[in-house]
Amino acid sequence: MPIVADNISYAYNVGTSAESVALRGVSFTVERGEWVSVVGHTGSGKSTLAQHLNLLLTPRSGSVSIDGAEAKPGSGESRVARRRVGLVFQYPETQFFAETVRAEIEFAPSNWGVSGGALKACVDEAVSASGLDPALLESNPFALSGGQRRRVAIASVIAMRPDYLVLDEPTAGLDAAGIRELIQFLSGVRDAGLGVVQVTHDLRSALSYSDRILVLENGSRVVSGTPEFVARHIIDNPVRGLVIPPVVRFADALRKKGMNVPLICEVDEMVRAIGIYKERNKKCGS
Amino acid sequence: MFSIRAAAYSYSESGTPALDGVDLEIEQGEWVALVGANGSGKSTLAKICNALLAPTQGTCFVMGLDASDPQNTSAIRQNVALVFQNPEDQIVASIVEEDVAFGPENLGLPPDEIRRRVDRALLLTDLELYRARGSYSLSGGQKQRLALAGALALEPDALLLDESTSMLDPEGRDSFLSCLGELNRRGMTILQITHRMEEAALAGRIVVMESGRVAWDGPPPDFFDGGYLRWSFEEPPEMALHHALLTRGLIPQGTKPGVEDMLEALCL
């Protein structure tokens, strides 16, 4: 059962001089157990789309349904939607308010009436899933480093036991090790059956890790599909604000020479293919 | 510009210190990239350079002024602008141009001068088209440029940037970085915290922080000559490819790491 956004449109500041259209008839689907990345230039509508998925915003036209039920604001389903679809904002750690990491993570489930042993289980599970050091549970979240804070923020959403996790630029500000750990974590929750939606401007990581990619430009869908398909499309039809990663351009050049490498591949694969090709046609210096 | 001696800082008495004896001299007009893992003390160091924090031990002098002396705080902040990681932390007004005007207005400048500075800052950050827009209706990357515009309107001598390109798309990042390059050529001192090695490569000097200390300090070519692998920074895949092709003798020594350079050298 998926989240389905059907032909949704949205504008900010409607009816004022500052009115700006953010989404123009975008359709989008994410299944459980699937990792979809939404990429596009700054201002392309990525974050606006993410905020529709848990009904934080409601479309001006079109609809959003979660696991088959149309989600309308104020309805019983909207409460359920908020719980099923965990939204991790850009720089989520700026929303901390509790004095300890534990209280921060307990907040959402206890708001849903979870208490006692069940609450403790929620917290423990979230801490272990997000790779947070349990020794930090009694620490002040504001005293943690950037990478640790990001993990606390994600753990506090995971503690609601959502079916879908929507993250807006989750890697912003993390170091290389932090990004690697986060990607591992997201692959883990995807493999455990959650639907993962990652909003990012980092085409390279989207191509490497997601199952499907949606590309937005000026609020409209440009293309969507597998990383391979999307990379092909962007090479042939450049999209504003997106730059094809150098290694993908390199792989594309090798393919044009007839080498059998996928567009999205590891450095080793390319080097091996070049070695074989060179053996076969000794052009240079021979 | 910045003269930091044996500076230490702890956020709490019991915890591990965020800075643990930093010595650093930065001259006027330098562009320094400050790199290191999360928690290595980069942001704390930037806050000390802006007199937002005072070192618990050691000293920090900014333009010859002791940053620990509260009497110098206002002079330092006027000349050293800090752009935070999260733009939401520093947007104060609801309309873009009013937000940019906030700093100069607080300096008590005449209206003509404020207008000139706002126009210039919006031009440099490519936000002219958005000047009448609501600050909060901007996207993440646009907000990041707005935060930079607010800092530039102070016309500071030095700019401290804490991961200030983290939410920009590649195109936005390129224009942001070329804007920095231009400002640096005109004499602005830049201390830029970044995790992106491609960005660090543009600076004149790289300083690596590790556990609250300066672990390495030198020019980018020396850093990228293998040294950076020691600190487990992410190697951009094109650098890994370059390295692999060189090691296997598929391209001659001296080939540049650009895609076109490598393809040409491969002679396929």
Which CATH number is B90's domain given? 3.40.50.300
The verdict on a CB contact (< 8 Å) between B86 and A148 is: no
Banded pLDDT at B229 (limits 50, 70, 90): low
Place of tokens 């990652």: A198
Place of tokens 């009497």: B71
Residue A71 has, within 13 A of its CA and on its CB side, a CA count of 27
pLDDT on residue B94: 84
Percent of chain B's residues with pLDDT above 90: 27
Q: What is the pLDDT of residues A120-149, one digit of tens each?
A: 998 998 898 887 889 899 988 888 877 788
What is the spatial distance between Cα A31 and Cα A1, in angstroms, rounded to a whole number? 6
Query: Residue A172 is nearest to which of B167, B171, B268, comparing CB atoms?
Result: B167
Q: Write the single-letter amino acid at A98.
A: A
Phi-psi domain of B238 (left: phi exceeds 0; alpha: psi -120 through 50; beta: other): alpha
What is the spatial distance between Cα A43 and Cα A245, in angstroms, rounded to a whole number? 21
**Average pLDDT of the residues of chain B:** 86
3-state SS record for B77-137: HHHEEEECCCHHHHCCCCEHHHHHHHHHHHCCCCHHHHHHHHHHHHHHCCCHHHCCCEHHH
| B234 pLDDT more than 70 | no
Residues of B in contact with A240 (CB under 8 A): 171
Banded pLDDT at B232 (limits 50, 70, 90): low
Question: Which region among B147-151, B194-198, B223-227, B251-255 has the lowest average model confidence (pLDDT)?
Answer: B223-227
Q: Are A175 and B38 in contact (CB under 8 A)?
A: yes
Q: What is the pLDDT of residues A10-29, one digit of tens each?
A: 999 888 877 889 999 999 99
The verdict on a CB contact (< 8 Å) between A245 and B237 is: yes
Banded pLDDT at B233 (limits 50, 70, 90): low
Residues of A in contact with B167 (CB under 8 A): 42, 90, 169, 172, 201
Residues B62 and B109 in one domain: yes
Banded pLDDT at B228 (limits 50, 70, 90): low
Residues of B in contact with A43 (CB under 8 A): 138-139, 141-142
CA atoms A170, A171, A172, A178: torsion sign: positive
**ipTM at complex level:** 0.73
Q: Write the single-letter amino acid at B30.
A: E
Please check whether residue B163 touches A, CB under 8 A: yes
Residues B23 and B145 in one domain: yes
| B13 pLDDT more than 50 | yes
pLDDT on residue A198: 96
pLDDT on residue A286: 46
Banded pLDDT at B14 (limits 50, 70, 90): low
Residues B254 and B151 in one domain: no
Q: What is the pLDDT of residues A187-207, one digit of tens each?
A: 989 998 999 999 998 888 899
Residues B140 and B163 in one domain: yes
B245 lies in which domain range?
Answer: 236-268
Residues B19 and B149 in one domain: yes
Residue A255 φ then ψ, to 5°: -60, -40
Q: Which helix (H) or strand (E) holds B9?
A: strand B2-9
Tally the domains of chain B: 2
The verdict on a CB contact (< 8 Å) between A169 and B167 is: yes
| B7 pLDDT more than 90 | no
| B158 pLDDT more than 80 | yes
Residue of A nearest to B144 (CA): A42
Residues B66 and B88 in one domain: yes
Residues B150 and B251 in one domain: no
Domain(s) of CATH 3.40.50.300: residues in chain A: 29-42+86-243
What is the spatial distance between Cα A62 and Cα A232, in angstroms, rounded to a whole number? 30
Q: Classify residue A258 by its DSSP letter.
A: T
pLDDT on residue A246: 87
Residues B95 and B170 in one domain: yes
B161: Cβ contacts below 8 Å, ≥ 6 apart:
B83, B148, B180, B190, B191, B192, B193, B194
Beta bridge partners of A8: A26
Query: Residue A267 is nearest to which of B134, B171, B240, comparing CB atoms?
Result: B240
CA atoms B35, A94, A51, A161: torsion sign: positive
| B15 pLDDT more than 80 | no
- Please report the residues numbered 70 through 109 in chain A whose beta carbons come closer than 8 angstroms to any beta carbon of chain B: 90-91, 94
Please give the CATH superfamily to which domain A29-42+86-243 belongs: P-loop containing nucleotide triphosphate hydrolases (3.40.50.300)
- Please report the residues numbered 204 through 223 in chain B whose beta carbons come closer than 8 angstroms to any beta carbon of chain A: none
Residues of chain A falling short of pLDDT 70: 283-286
Residues B259 and B204 in one domain: no
**Average pLDDT of the residues of chain A:** 88
User: How many Å lie between the alpha carbon of A163 and the closest alpha carbon of chain B?
Assistant: 26
